[in-house]
Structure 1
């Protein structure tokens, strides 16, 4: 473990030579670096001790980087920079849709990687922690009950668990019932950072939320899209 002042970077790449070179460069810049040669352990490591950022290669043996990113995003908003050796846009777009913060094609200059790391860290805002005891309070809007301690949504006796990002999105919407929240406002609240105009991860998470909430409401939609503006939690839903 490093001291509290040193930011930790998780570096996931099966190219041992490249990984060691990048790790040394980042350590010289004041970061602590934990290296992974594949994705078999990084998801659990992120959950146990969330780093400042994750540098994640797409082309990995076994489970690929996009699949690993998807699993990371189920529970964590940690900044993720994807590395790709491919020249087309498909992996980049898919990565952004899944919630990647940036990408860098190989080969790359380590100084550019450092600049991108610093950029995503500047955009990162530590999440606001509730006051002591506040997390145990349920948030109720109409027939909907958001269980903060269990991180779930319920209607009557029916209850569905939420991922960390889904929970924060729904909490933001339910704390402002009947009010339209823009995509940027929701992303800042749910993930603690700003995003570029082409990031579509908000739509992916809203879609998943709708599936879960409609299971509880018999198909009735409580999250309304306000075209060109954002999303709203319908008070009477």
Structure 2
């Protein structure tokens, strides 16, 4: 079944171009011209991925992303009109999986959408044939097949990117990954963003799975290099 993409932007030229390029790749595309319409279409169509502009009438992208993240982990790619770091960090902090700065190449958007959806399919397919479907370590359980995480039996809601980062690290316990390596492996293509993206996602992930994020049990910082999952020593 073809994946559904929701593109929300108040600039009709952008939504038209995005629709054309994404439909050319076989995706089913729905467009919204403001934040309220984006939320309505999200509720009714349950898209597999959302491309979301930050600056929209009625409800801006931050508000829309925040509301969606209350109940869903659907991948979200943020579009920002400015390349300011504050905008990027804000979008990532509230749960966006990726961001693109306008003006952007529609071909690059297609690459990013394809990469996010491909890595979701890959993890699901790989886990379906794996002998062990659950990674366990000191109260943490990662059900790879169902893409679910529990701490002490309590379910933890993670975004797609947060889960993929955790899975990457936990499936290689003790191995150190640089921020650049994490960008390459999790974002799954030649990513031109800065490594701040990784830092923000790691912080969000720790806030969800660590009882004390300042002294993490699971995701360890290797100063000057990157991160590793505990164990494997």
RMSD: 4.1
Task: Tell me, yes or no, if the aligned pair for 2:23 and 2:29 is still in contact at 8 Å.
Answer: no
> Equivalent residue for 2:98?
100
Give the one of 214, 217, 221 matched to 1:221: 217
Instruction: Please say which of residues 88-97 and 33-42 is displaced more in the overlay.
Output: 88-97
SS in structure 1 opposite 2:39?
coil
TM-score normalised by the chain length of structure 2: 0.68
Please state if 1:114 is matched with 2:119: no
Instruction: Please say which of residues 133-142 and 59-68 is displaced more in the overlay.
Output: 133-142
- Distance in 1 between the 2:220 and 2:184 partners? 19
TM-score normalised by the chain length of structure 1: 0.67
SS in structure 1 opposite 2:101?
strand
Bigger Rg over Cα: 1
Task: Compute the displacement of 1:151 (Å).
Answer: 0.6
Listed one character per residue, the Cα deviations across residues 33-85 of structure 1 (whole Å, up to 9, x for unaligned) are 42112232354478x3325x72x32221232113434566762446x25152x
> Equivalent residue for 2:165?
169
> Matched residue pairs, number?
219
Please state if 1:126 is matched with 2:136: no
- Distance in 1 between the 2:142 and 2:16 partners? 46
Unaligned runs of 5+ in 2: none
Task: Compute the displacement of 1:99 (Å).
Answer: 3.9
Task: Tell me, yes or no, if the aligned pair for 2:175 and 2:228 is still in contact at 8 Å.
Answer: yes
SS in structure 2 opposite 1:130?
helix
Task: Compute the displacement of 1:225 (Å).
Answer: 0.9
SS in structure 1 opposite 2:102?
strand
Please state if 1:184 is matched with 2:176: no
- Distance in 2 between the 1:197 and 1:178 partners? 26
Task: Tell me, yes or no, if the aligned pair for 2:54 and 2:60 is still in contact at 8 Å.
Answer: yes
Please state if 1:11 is matched with 2:10: no
Task: Compute the displacement of 1:176 (Å).
Answer: 1.1
SS in structure 2 opposite 1:40?
helix
Superposed, which structure 2 residues align to 1:1-237 within 5 Å? Answer: 4=2, 10-15=6-11, 18=13, 22=17, 26=21, 33-38=29-34, 39-44=38-43, 48-51=46-49, 54=51, 56-69=52-65, 75-77=73-75, 80=77, 82-84=79-81, 90-92=86-88, 94-95=90-91, 98-105=96-103, 113-118=105-110, 120=112, 126-127=118-119, 128=122, 129-132=125-128, 134=130, 137-148=133-144, 149=146, 151-155=148-152, 158-163=153-158, 164-215=160-211, 221-235=217-231
